[in-house]
Amino acid sequence: MELFSLLFIIPILYGFFILWKWVNDLRDQQCYILDYQCHKPSDDRMVGTEFCGEVIKRNKNLGLNEYKFLLKAIVSSGIGEQTYAPRIMFDGREECPKLEDGISEMEEFFYDSIGKVLSRAGISPQEIDALVVNVSMLAAVPSLSSRIINHYKMRPDIKSFDLAGMGCSASLISLDIIRNVFKSYKNKFALLVTSESLSQNWYSGNDRSMILANCLFRSGGCAILLTNNKALKHQAMFKLKCLVRTHHGAKDESYGCCIQKEDDQGRMGFHLSKSLPKAATRSFVDNLRVITPKILPVRELLRFMVVSVVKKWKLRLGSAPKGAPQGPIKAGVNFKSGVDHFCLHTGGKAVIEGIGVSLNLSEYDLEPARMTLHRYGNTSASSLWYVLAYMEAKKRLKKGNRVLMISFGAGFKCNSCVWEVVRDLGDGNVWKDEIDSFPPKTLLNPFMAKYGWIQDEDPTTFKFPDDSYV
């Protein structure tokens, strides 16, 4: 009898052990942000209206029609006068860059932001177990991660990854790599470094689809310190809840809407096609289909299902009976039922407004992305972290809040994730010294006031006056 009882108890105990081990391993697979630091370049790299005029005039391949196009693009971009450009622009060498220009641009950011985030967290560079660096348009040998490892004398067993060509959605791809590393190793520290090199990627031709990138992209970057050590969860700022990646590279139209290529004269640039909004919408919709059930409460999902069924039923019936209420039934999902804050990629004013309409967001929800675009421009993959820092500086992020991050990138990709705020946050990061001045009374930039006369010029007699920009 005792032997029978023993044989009966052992499988039960083993089952409990397996369950405990699964739960314990799951806890060790959590991904926390301990700290992050956005990069704020020095003021001598700030791009104002007059300097923009100088740079545009230096391009001898532009004519009046291109000037008019650029004026319209800059005025409607949502970008202000306090964004930053690489030093090569101020040296007047944007048409003849060197490899060293791109490397020095990245190193200036690396050593500023990485040093600050490690120092503030009290973590030694030798404690970093994994390093992921994403810079889409600069490939160097040794790699950028190797340069960081060499500078900070990191351990020889560090796991390093370099991502190139991933575009503006690269931050969340890097995060996904770190999340998967954390699934295999316990109690580790990881450093995510995200930026874009502009020094070697200025377009000096006159193709409008490629000039547009010059108007939108600006210098920036961010270093993020992460861990899966559950003993440090109370020191953490954010906890990753879920992450979804969508890739439409198999669709030719989506694949070609954002692509680095040469123009007809052989000048290298970044082509943005007219099919970009359509590609972004398709990838966004597919991404939302996957992440929505992961982040919204059951009651909202049930409401959406009921409304959708009713809408389809009425469509099958054709026109509504006489005297019935007119107008379509809206079957939109209320994302605010499961998300408190929306961290949107600052790809441009139209991108922000488009997402706002799709998710039915208010001006309050869009303010962080709008202000980031106005102050820092589109800093590519790092832009999400400037938006997050704005929320933190405004003291919006409270314990238990959820933040939805949405990014788009060449390929074409849409990536999203949700963070849970672990504790009340209020550090200003790069916004610390100026957050009280945002939002400003107006987001209008002075380009139209200074260069609006170009719109009335005759192409046959036009000549750029020497004193029009000084």
The kind and range of the H/E element at 230 are: none
Q: What are 179's two structure tokens?
A: 């999340």
Please indicate whether residue 378 is annotated as part of the active site: yes
Residues in Cβ contact with 179 at an 8 Å cutoff, skipping those fewer than 6 apart:
31, 240, 243
Type of residue at 154: M
What DSSP character marks residue 468? Answer: S
Catalytic residue among 378, 401, 415, 429: 378
Alpha helices in 86-191 (DSSP H): 87-90, 99-121, 144-152, 170-184
Does residue 39 sit in helix, strand or coil? coil
Catalytic residue among 345, 401, 417, 429: 345
Please indicate whether residue 248 is annotated as part of the active site: no
Please indicate whether residue 168 is annotated as part of the active site: yes
Rounded-to-integer distance, Cα 470 and Cα 462, Å:
18
Please indicate whether residue 96 is annotated as part of the active site: no
Peptide bond into 304 cis (omega under 30): no
Q: What are 287's two structure tokens?
A: 């991404």
Rounded-to-integer distance, Cα 200 and Cα 99, Å:
7
Catalytic residue among 31, 38, 168, 215: 168
DSSP string, 415-466: EEEEEEE-S-----GGGTTTGGG-S-S----THHHHHGGGGG--TTT----T
| CA nearest to 358, candidates 338, 372, 344, 346 | 344
Rounded-to-integer distance, Cα 223 and Cα 121, Å:
12
Catalytic residue among 39, 248, 271, 374: 374
Catalytic residue among 39, 247, 248, 271: 247
Catalytic residue among 214, 341, 414, 417: 341
Q: How far apart, in Å, do the first and last CA atoms of the chain sit? A: 99
Residue 338 CA from chain centroid, whole number: 21
34 in Cβ contact with 234 (< 8 Å)? no
Does residue 126 sit in helix, strand or coil? helix
Please indicate whether residue 271 is annotated as part of the active site: no
Please indicate whether residue 151 is annotated as part of the active site: no
Q: Which residues are catalytic?
A: 168, 247, 341, 345, 374, 378
